[in-house]
Amino acid sequence: MTSNTPLKPWRRRARIAEIHEIAARQLEEPEVEFEIAPYLEELRAMETRPRAFEDVEARIMLLLGARAKPTRLKRLLKQLRERRVADGDLPLFEDFEAALRQRTGSSVLLGHDFAPETFSELDHGVVWGDVGSAIAALGELTQSVFLNSGTLLGVVRDKRLIDHDDDVDLGFLLKAGSASEAVTEWLALGEELTRRGLLQESVRSEPEIYKLKSTGAYEIDLFPVWIEDGKVFVFPHTCGELTESEVFPLKTCEVTGLSIPAEPEKMLALNYGPDWKTPDPYFKFPWHKAIQRFATFRDGVRGATARDRRKTVLTYGTFDLFHIGHVRLLRRLSEMGDRLIVACSTDEFNAIKGKTCVMPYAERAEVLRACNYVSEVIAENDWAQKRADIQEHDVDIFAMGDDWAGKFDDLADLCEVVYLPRTENVSTTDLKKRVHEQNLEPVNAGAS
């Protein structure tokens, strides 16, 4: 029987240590039928802020062993390293990282995804030859194609392709003089590249970034570039901060013989921040800000292709004694996007709020997972986690009941914030009152 009594601290620490050991063993000696979801759910339910180091390490090993959620895995690794650095214990992170490499038998834990190969395992001469051929083919359509983003970072900082990278990035100069003109020209370019057989079939899933065919297991990503009033725009990192003379005319890369921006260091600082010279295999680009800054271009391209990115909706609640009001709310939320994540309050957090539930967290979470409208259930452990959750899960819409109207408007810089009216005269409190007034005792009904 599941208890809704919060675990005592020493029991929580002991259980986290057990899961840590299980995760390490699974990483080293994988079991085919092993399921990580129950362990991740346990860790969420026992979570404290900040998370215990063993908790974070256990999550990392579970995700890495299952080759699941690479974006979340990269974020956890970055957070763990930053915390160890803050505590003056970087060697502890380096030892953990080395152990992961040893257990997985790989020198690179992950690139953009769990790619079959990264550049650490490929012949760079062959890659550059392939990229040169792609640029030559594009040269018939534009006067300027240059090494961009991670590829530019590699040749400038490391004088080579970055070991943990697994794709090549190119910038393509359009004739457009505005974002709206860039939309029209970029869509026409996609049709022309398709006609010439240069694009992968997946091009339509992300129309603002084209993926060229390559001869290897890596991808060649093509990004739009245009000049507006003497300012350069390179989706998604440079939004008019650089002048035309800081980028053009292009110069020749000493490493590859291919073209790069006139002052690449300035573009790299915009893309990767002031510390771009320091290698960071767990860097994550701030896509939410980029989407806002390039809204005219991105929305124009996606609207024209009628293939919007899957939208993720996030909501929070206790969901005790699951009832028709919950069903109607979740149905409305699911209709707002393609994926609905529900953050369910843990028993420990409810205790902080002074709220007592009939059903323990594990049962409430299980009921939510069984609801067809819900894609994923996560644990709500404190008031402050919402901003981190939105970023971690790439949330497009944050939605709550209108009794919270105005309380979360500060999250609007990350995503759309919506307050929905609740079902009248239906709530868990009302349900408890009805049971009490009718002198009914909830019972476990047998199968009939």
Active centre residues (catalytic): 353, 355
Is the Cβ–Cβ distance between 190 and 182 less than 8 Å?
Answer: no
Q: Which amino acid is at 387?
A: R
- Tokens 């129950």 appear where? 38
- How do strand 238-243 and strand 231-234 relate by DSSP bridges? antiparallel
- Tokens 């009921």 appear where? 367
For 421, the token pair is: 């009216």
User: Measured at the alpha carbon of residue 358, what is the angle toward residues 352 and 362, in degrees to the nearest 5?
Assistant: 75
Q: Which of 297, 180, 307 is nearest to 236 (CA)?
A: 297
Long-range CB contacts (within 8 A, 24+) of 319-324 = 319/344, 319/364, 319/367, 319/368, 320/357, 320/358, 320/359, 320/364, 320/428, 321/358, 321/359, 321/428, 321/431, 321/432, 322/364, 322/367, 322/368, 322/371, 323/426, 323/427, 323/428, 323/431, 324/423, 324/426
